[in-house]
Amino acid sequence: MQQPKRTALAAITLAAAVVGAGWALTGAAAPAASKAAAKPAAVEKDATIREIEKYREALGDGNPAELWEARGEDLWKKKRGPNNVSLEQCDIGVGPGKVKGAYAVLPKYFADTDKVEDLETRLVSCMVMLQGFKYEQAKKNPFGGPDVKSDIEALVAYVTGQSRGVKMNVALSHPKEKEAFEIGKKMFNHRGGPHDFACATCHGSDNQRIRLQDLPNLSKTEAAQRAYTSWPAYRVSQGELRSFQWRLFDCFRQQRFPELEFTSAGSVALTMYLARNANGGVFNAPSIKR
């Protein structure tokens, strides 16, 4: 009973490959025709990219992410939880209470939890250790919606905003950091799910696009720098600020993979791989996206 589905999927995959390669399946003349059309197609692509960039620049004026940053700063300084303390003594990578430039060194190993943590995971740890929240309470509602806003996303907006203009500098000095990077690399390239996809299917090759969206090759430094340093971002289409953990969660959803658990070791490892690849890039977020 599954054969028609597999056949249809194979046909779709083949068709996509044919279109992507520029072949018309008309014999030996096809490559020549493809080469002849390549230059106009490249010009058209460049023009499209320029128009998209103009659109993004226009959106950048008065980025609504500033509202999340302001709320996040209030949450950072507000006394909350059973212990009635603020997060101002939370060490998120550059010392207790320091936020300037902290996001640029994450993920990293923290001795007090004996694990590698990204920003979201570290915030949850601090809410547990300092403020006295239960773990499930601290990680509840990681992604906001129209009716309920996420405290985590607001805190992420505030902390990341303090690293604007700072170069990414994620270290692999601890054995667990190196381990996380290698696990993340394997996850990035692992194929699975009903479509036999991997992160690398969309983001492991040059010159890929879905509709009008260019797909950066995240295995290469320059592309990884541009992509990673633009998250978190305010999504115009959703009216919400979205964290990098959400970006990974949504990519898994689109691949029809099992749900990526918020702050799981796997999510942190994948973030480590992508963040390390972006080293040297100047952080410029929260940004704004369609």
Active site residues: 251
As a residue count, the chain comes to 290
